[in-house]
A = this chain, B = another copy of it.
Amino acid sequence: MRESTPVSMSATLAADEALARRRRAGEKVLSMASGEIGLTVHPALRERLAAAAGESAYGPVAGGHALRAAVAGYWGRRGLGIDPGLIVAGPGSKPLLFALLLALGGDVVVPVPSWVSYAAQARLAGARPIPVPIVPGQGGVPDPDRLRAAVAEARAAGRDPRSVVVTVPDNPTGTVASPGTVRRLAAAARELDLVVVSDEIYRDLVYDTSAPAESPALHAAERTVITTGLTKSLAVGGWRTGVARLPDSDIGRALHTRLVSVASQIWSSPPAPVQTAAAYAFGEPPEITEYVAAGRRLHETVVRAVADRFTAAGAALAPVRATCYLYPDFEPVRDRLARVHGVHDGDGLARFLSERHGVGVLPASAFGEPGSALRIRAATSRLYGDTDEQRTAALTAAEPLELPWIRGAVEQVGEALSDLVRTATGALSPQS
């Protein structure tokens, strides 16, 4: 007998749908809740998909050879060479992560905070997530010492942790765990006999390209699975394409067999036309790497501008080094928020920004943090324009902050924050 698993809607997708409804109703809302990348598909990529529209066969469960070879090349150029036979493609890195949890079995350690779906997926897979806090300022990687303690405690209680999920670079914090922390995590995982599932979908969005994110696969090669996709770098979330790199080891080969079996029963194969377009993109021709670089610069510029507004409002914010996310902490102004607005936690903070100022963000609770945390996640990725013209202009602008729609968005955030941290209660506006 099996109970229904408690499951709630993905917080990002739910917030996105709610904001879209308000926007359709004519409200001036800023969608900063989800990390969907609001940019236009590169024309060459779009043309590859169009040309592949006649491809309608399933092909291999793990994806066709051309795609897997291109993906192996992508990782090879990052010092992570791999046999294409150990690549598994799927309809998004989200389904791949879920299938990995099913294939691995056992319970799974997740960092706190971490992406909204890891813990939900673990529960759907019949596992219990084991939350372990990050090292402050180094999101995405559970503190290795606390990891040891949590796994020991879980095992003593009869539980069976078998894997740890990490996010490098990190969502929601926009930070990147240091090489030292990643090395210590890898050592702890080996010592504890845990498989490391390293979600590296933001890998190519580290602002300082001379200091790339360190993958745990460099230090625990035999037990690290890496996942990525084109969603974040190439703004094709709606295409549904993701890939996993399994380790070249006994662990990796056994997991490959189980992962492909799970995939065969759940989704059959990745969408065929998308595979062809993805193979082209993972080959990284110059026009594609230039697009990725332009997107990275755009994120950095807008993230820094928004970060300035948050720090000006008194929020604490670890330096954002990658992605399109900010994760400000309003603890330094807790008393004021409570006194002036009756805001006591992240949920109240998100509600205030969304309902009063049309700035849609997510509370820290969506990322597994305690309800009391006065933190929210804000994404800049939907501020780049509403039309293809605006988005293309944003991607190619020397000074994106001078584009009126981006400047207006940053100002809307600034005004919302000014109101949030004002010192007197004053008269409340009639809207609630």
Contact = CB atoms under 8 A, between A and B. Distances in A.
Interface of A: 1-5, 7-10, 13-14, 16-17, 36, 40-41, 46-47, 49-51, 53-61, 91-92, 94-95, 98, 102-107, 117, 120-121, 124, 126-127, 158-160, 235-240, 258, 260-262, 264-274, 277, 388
B50 A266 contact: no
B17 A126 contact: no
Given A238-B58, A239-B56, A268 B94 contact: yes
Nearest to A388: B54
B105 A3 contact: yes
A250 to B, nearest CB: 15
Contacts of A10: 61, 261, 264-265, 268
The number of times this chain is found in the oligomer is 2
Nearest to A105: B4
Given A94-B268, A265-B98, A13 B61 contact: yes
A266 B60 contact: no
Given A2-B105, A271-B274, 5 more contacts: A2-B126, A2-B127, A10-B268, A46-B53, A94-B266
A272 B238 contact: yes
B59 A49 contact: no
Given A94-B268, A124-B102, A53 B49 contact: yes
A92 B13 contact: no
A92 B50 contact: no
Contacts of A56: 40-41, 235-239
Given A2-B160, A4-B258, A238 B59 contact: yes
11 contacts: A1-B159, A10-B264, A10-B265, A13-B269, A57-B237, A91-B95, A91-B267, A102-B124, A238-B272, A238-B273, A273-B273
Contacts of A260: 9
Question: Which of A1, A91, A266, A277 has its CB near the most chain B CB atoms (within 10 A)?
Answer: A266
Nearest to A62: B17
B46 A58 contact: no
